[in-house]
Chain A
Amino acid sequence: KAGVTQTPRYLIKTRGQQVTLSCSPISGHRSVSWYQQTPGQGLQFLFEYFSETQRNKGNFPGRFSGRQFSNSRSEMNVSTLELGDSALYLCASSFNSGDGSPLHFGNGTRLTVT
């Protein structure tokens, strides 16, 4: 069974630009969550989608948005990039949010904003 796939692995963008990151969950998984990892703040929850609906949102500005498609694939978008958005963005999936099954993480997208 293929794991969680995130594309691209690396991205370099300039301040003010926008970026879209993609995540394909494990087949059959309906819940997708996104996390940001930085050296200072650690792993922080961005948002969670379940059956195309945003179920929870973390404490991030509105520049961070996401969506989930009918095949459970998910994208997150960051607009008007700032230097502080440089981070590792991790996507995670689980079969059914709330059933106690652990999250399965992808290897992340490393975003560098210059």
Chain B
Amino acid sequence: DQQVKQNSPSLSVQEGRISILNCDYTNSMFDYFLWYKKYPAEGPTFLISISSIKDKNEDGRFTVFLNKSAKHLSLHIVPSQPGDSAVYFCAAPMGYGGSQGNLIFGKGTKLSVKP
């Protein structure tokens, strides 16, 4: 059973427009969420995170929104740039013993930003 779900395998957006990537989760014990970006032939790189005590976290062009009642989070990229084209993963730590090395990942959404 997938505890973190990204239901859109791909998304195509025009340069300069907003990209919205969605993620749903089923485990109400999750209290922290992260987004990672992955380019081909590279490992994932951390993008932005949010704690469950917040409903929004912003870092430059990237904003993550958390709706705990709906168990849903979204990543907004404004404005989108061609260099943002990558696979985006939503993740949550299982948190056993406070560990955050054990992340549950969604299957990713491939974002293509067209010039």
Contact = CB atoms under 8 A, between A and B. Distances in A.
A105 B100 CA distance: 14
Contacts of B108: 42-43
B101 A31 contact: yes
Contacts of A35: 103, 105
Given A42-B106, A102-B34, A48 B99 contact: yes
B45 A105 contact: yes
B94 interface: yes
Contacts of B98: 97-98
B43 A33 contact: no
Given A31-B101, A48-B99, A56-B101, A107 B41 contact: yes
A45 B43 contact: no
B103 A103 contact: yes
Interface residues of B, number: 26
Contacts of B104: 45
Interface residues of A, number: 29
Nearest to A3: B43
B60 interface: no
Nearest to B48: A102
Contacts of A45: 94, 102-104
Interface string A33-57: 1010000001111001010000110
Interface string A76-106: 0000000000000010101001111111111
A51 B42 CA distance: 26
Contacts of B49: 100, 102
Contacts of B97: 55-56, 98
B107 interface: yes
A56 B96 CA distance: 8
Which of A33, A58, A102, A106 has the most chain B CB atoms inside 10 A of its CB? A102
Given A42-B106, A42-B107, A100 B43 contact: no
Contacts of B88: none
A97 B99 contact: yes
Interface of A: 4, 31-33, 35, 42-45, 48, 50, 55-56, 58, 90, 92, 94, 97-108
